[in-house]
Amino acid sequence: MTVHSNVYIPKESWPYWTWFAIEFFIVLATSLLIANEIMPIFDEMNIDKTNQNWIFWSIVAVLFFDWYIMLRRLVLRRKLILENIY
């Protein structure tokens, strides 16, 4: 049996920056969905549409920045725990 040196290894060929792009779009989509679910509360309060628009995008911004400023450090810093398992 022969050994081939041209084996495809995804870790070496996958661009590292794409993980950041995937994370960005997942966080953006999640914050948009959460803000969309919260908005009927403001619709029942008879707030006009322009203010609802500001409230919607404010909720999206708060959730988006909370992930990148506070939660991402806590969730993704668990690298040392995973290294000790293996």
What's the token pair of residue 45?
Answer: 């309060």
Domain count, the chain: 1
Please determine, for residue 6, whether its predicted confidence score (pLDDT) is greater than 90: no
What's the maximum distance between 2 C-alpha atoms anywhere in the chain? 75
Is 4 within the bounds of a domain? no
Q: Answer left, alpha or beta for residue 2, where phi above 0 means left and psi between -120 and 50 means alpha.
A: beta
- Say if 1 falls within a structural domain: no
Q: Express each pLDDT in 29-66 by its tens digit.
A: 999 999 999 999 998 998 999 999 999 999 999 999 99
Domain residue limits at 32: 15-85
pTM for this model (two decimals) = 0.69
pLDDT tens profile 62-78: 999 998 888 877 776 65
Examine residue 7 and state whether it is found in any structural domain, yes or no.
Answer: no
Is the residue at 45 inside a domain? Answer: yes
